[in-house]
Amino acid sequence: MRRVTRPRRLALRAGLALAAAASLLALRAAGQPSGSANQPPPAIATAAGATPQQIERGRYLAAAGDCVACHTLPRAAPFSGGRPVETPFGVVLSANLTPDADTGIGRYDNDTFYRALHEGIDLDGRHLYPAFPYPYYTRVTRADSDSLLAYLRSLPPVNHAVDRNQLHFPFNIRALMAGWNLLYLDKGTYREDKAQSAEWNRGAYLVEGLGHCQACHTPRNRLGGPKADEAFRGGRFADWFAPDITPNRHAGIGAWGREAVVEFLRSGRNVHSGASGEMGEVVSFSTSRMTDADIGAVATYLASLRPSPMGTVAMAANAQMAQGEAVWKDNCAACHREDAKGVPRAFPPIASSANLQQRDATTVLHYILAGARHRPIDAAPTALAMPAFAWKLDDAEIAAVATYARNTWGNQARPVAPDEVAELRKRLAASPDATAPWPPEIRPAHDLARPGSATWSRAGTDSRDNGTPRAGSAAP
């Protein structure tokens, strides 16, 4: 079960000036009558009539949409809400999606639920914030929306009131989102492209809709709006950079091949990379639960995207490269190997790694500062870890080793400055991960002051402590 409290940050924070401009613009827009937002909600229907097949289908679709990730707090009942999700305007807490009539979605019917997914309007006609990825869920068909509701209504109701809107003025005014929607919501159910195969269309439906891959993998402007002409070319999300996943052979996943993409989405690892952090959650709670046919469809659609253009990058200084090589030999080569080719599915290769060659080095620096741990899956229950180096290496050393790794063995990416390391170090140290009372099985390696429990095991640790609850259960 996923239990993570870390806020999901939707996009960059708006600068003050821009925020003011935006609110003016949005207030103006909010003054216009906005169709359904002003209509009274339709009469309340009952859940009666949902078939077991529909509920099962809804369970599958909820996994494809990764609903549980945002809608569950550590140790709390699944879907009972309250997880902080960051937006450019501040933090919004997620809603209680259990069928409790007072605090959950118990009074939603098929029409109002579809309207919530489709237009970001709640039961009472108020605007929801795009921290809830309705700009993508708008592609979901009516039949799928009905199944999702049937599933959610089959859950045990949990009475958990969430004070969701903790934004500051003026962003606490939900009507402002009418302006945001005018600019960025492209409302409408997925429309099939008849020129493409059924598999391609299925992949597009999943990626552009429930999978909401663009929510992280597409860069955003200062108002949190997606840069449509740079779709899938990589975007900042929380303290990670979700890399370019277009078929660019250098910075994207163009050199992976279909089988490798499928393996990554199914298991979180392949010979090229491993899924951690935000993507680790996406794999555990969403893509690994998709059918092989659906994962294949996602891979087919991704392969058809237009590759991002090859950029040119500044050369790194010789002194920084020399320092980086020394740090690499001492600290990294033992696991990732001297030639940086790694050990397949255990220690990811650094040579020709797309993650390494992004224009934004956040993910690389995150790995080095805080370490990382494979997300265990039932098929591979042992969570291999990379130790945190924040306690050991200073900003200049980390910038140097990152720059060296980004520019050796055929890799090419702009050099990293020590300031970037200092900034991320500060943000990670302040993150709730550093202090949260984590259940031991998912405690992240975020204690930046010394090596963390995620990087070593106590003597006498039972190997079943490593990984999923079922890990080791097959052993005699």
**Euclidean distance between CA atoms 175 and 164, whole angstroms:** 15
The encoded tokens of residue 204 equal 């597009």
Least CB distance to ligand HEC at residue 95 (A): 4
Q: Toward ligand HEC, which CB reaches closer, 77 or 335?
A: 335
- 298 counts as binding ligand HEC under rule CB under 6 A: yes
Q: Which of 231, 242, 316, 361 binds ligand HEC (CB under 6 A)?
A: 242
Which of these ranges, 66-74, 308-316, 422-430, 461-469, lies near ligand HEC under the rule CB under 6 A? Answer: 66-74
Q: Toward ligand HEC, which CB reaches closer, 29 or 276?
A: 276
Q: Which of 6, 8, 160, 446 binds ligand HEC (CB under 6 A)?
A: 8
Least CB distance to ligand HEC at residue 46 (A): 17
Q: Which of 26, 178, 282, 370 binds ligand HEC (CB under 6 A)?
A: 282
The encoded tokens of residue 380 equal 């591979």
Least CB distance to ligand HEC at residue 288 (A): 11
Which of these ranges, 28-36, 60-68, 413-421, 441-449, lies near ligand HEC under the rule CB under 6 A? Answer: 60-68
**Euclidean distance between CA atoms 47 and 331, whole angstroms:** 58
**Euclidean distance between CA atoms 342 and 317, whole angstroms:** 26
Burial class of residue 168, CB neighbours in 10 A (0-12, 13-18, 19+): exposed
Of the candidates 175, 188, 218, 228, the residue with the CA atom closest to the CA atom of residue 37: 175
Least CB distance to ligand HEC at residue 235 (A): 8
- 94 counts as binding ligand HEC under rule CB under 6 A: yes
Q: Toward ligand HEC, which CB reaches closer, 219 or 274?
A: 274
- 386 counts as binding ligand HEC under rule CB under 6 A: yes
Residue in the block written with tokens 């690499």: 328
Question: Between the CA of residue 409 and those of 62, 252, 318, 340, 362, what are the distances in Å?
Answer: 41, 17, 16, 8, 20
- 415 counts as binding ligand HEC under rule CB under 6 A: no
**Euclidean distance between CA atoms 197 and 361, whole angstroms:** 37
Which of these ranges, 189-197, 342-350, 412-420, 456-464, lies near ligand HEC under the rule CB under 6 A? Answer: 342-350
- 240 counts as binding ligand HEC under rule CB under 6 A: yes
Q: Which of 171, 389, 395, 466 binds ligand HEC (CB under 6 A)?
A: 389
The site for ligand HEC, by CB under 6 A, has a size of 77
Instruction: Note whether 246 and 254 are within 8 A (CB).
Output: yes
List CB contacts of 224: < 8 A, sequence separation 6 or more: 10, 11, 12, 14, 87, 88, 89, 130, 180, 184
What's the alpha-carbon Rg for the chain, to the nearest Å?
A: 23
Least CB distance to ligand HEC at residue 476 (A): 28
